[in-house]
Structure 1
Amino acid sequence: MDRRAFLASGAAVALGATTAGCLGGTGADYDVAMTSDAYVPRSTATVPDDAPNWVPRDVPTVEVVAGDTLVWENTGARNHTVTAATYDHERVEALLGVSGDAAHSHDPRLPAGAGFFSSGSFDGEVAATRSFIDERNGGGVIPPGERYEHAFETAGWYHYYCIPHLPAGMMGNVHVLDA
């Protein structure tokens, strides 16, 4: 083998070894990635026909068992939030100026007995949104490379979204099954 062929084969092997970990996403220990304007679950579920009518059918849906903890990781380059949609969601859409296709005609809510959840640990959806707006990307922000976790104790349907990227349609569902 001549010197050039040997060097070329060594470079190809080195390049393959260097990029192998980047291609498959193996080793990631989060359940939902947050990209530039989307939630990308490692596995998705289909929203069944018997789900409540307020559960959006066309957004990424994760299925877990009561007691499981979901981990979201910001794998993108923009700030994100994870914010549960509640009966106050219409007020939040008005605060964010969302209308048209990105707005919900649904009545999002949490299962009976479930507490509100959001990155930033706010008491409610309106408080989380006002904090985000008032603090200019402050309240509840998950910066690139950071994570948010939430343990789902109550079975039922949950709908959530990213405050700054709601107009772009960054939303998701969690379906929590009885243990």
Structure 2
Amino acid sequence: MKRRTFLATAAGAASVSLAGCSSILADSEYDVDMTHYAYEPDAIEVQVGETVLWGNSGSRGHTVTAYDDAIPDGATYFASGGFEDEQAARDAFVDRGAGNVAPGETYEHTFEVAGTYGYVCLPHEGRGMVGTVTVVEE
């Protein structure tokens, strides 16, 4: 069973409530939901070579921005907006709101190196909007 199919089935079985959220994205279209001030789930495990898709079902813009010091050695840095490092992502967001994933939009990244990756939503970091992706070998 594909992971998105499993997640959609599990979400339906758990009767996850997104009260107050109006989304044009179906739960089955993404792996991580960006809601009001949270990533749901805030921790996900995938295999090397898999792509994670974040979907913004909330009413505010969010970012997906890796912490430089929280990705495995040799891993490709990732951030919505395509920045090369955390400082560039932070600067661009502060200067012009770059890297924002608007409501109804998605961001994806393919993970090629095993390990744990930490990431944050820049505008909601102070509210604790952080997440992790753990990438395992098959």
TM-score, with structure 2 as normaliser: 0.80
Aligned length: 117
- Quote the sequence identity (%): 47
The change in CA–CA distance for 1:28 and 1:126 in structure 2 (over 3 A counts) is same
The change in CA–CA distance for 1:79 and 1:111 in structure 2 (over 3 A counts) is same
Residues of 1 paired with 2:130 and 2:55: CA distance? 15
Residues of 2 paired with 1:35 and 1:24: CA distance? 12
- 2:56 is matched with 74
Match of 2:122, SS? coil
The change in CA–CA distance for 1:24 and 1:37 in structure 2 (over 3 A counts) is closer
Residues of 2 paired with 1:27 and 1:65: CA distance? 21
Counterparts of 1:142-153 in structure 2, within 5 Å, are 142-153=101-112
- 1:62 is matched with 44
Larger Rg: 1
- 1:36 is matched with 36
Match of 2:54, SS? strand
- 1:164 is matched with 123
Gaps of 5+ in 1: 1-22, 42-59, 88-108
TM-score, with structure 1 as normaliser: 0.62
Gaps of 5+ in 2: 1-14, 18-25
RMSD of Structure 2 on Structure 1 (CA): 1.8
1:128 equivalenced with 2:95 (yes/no): no
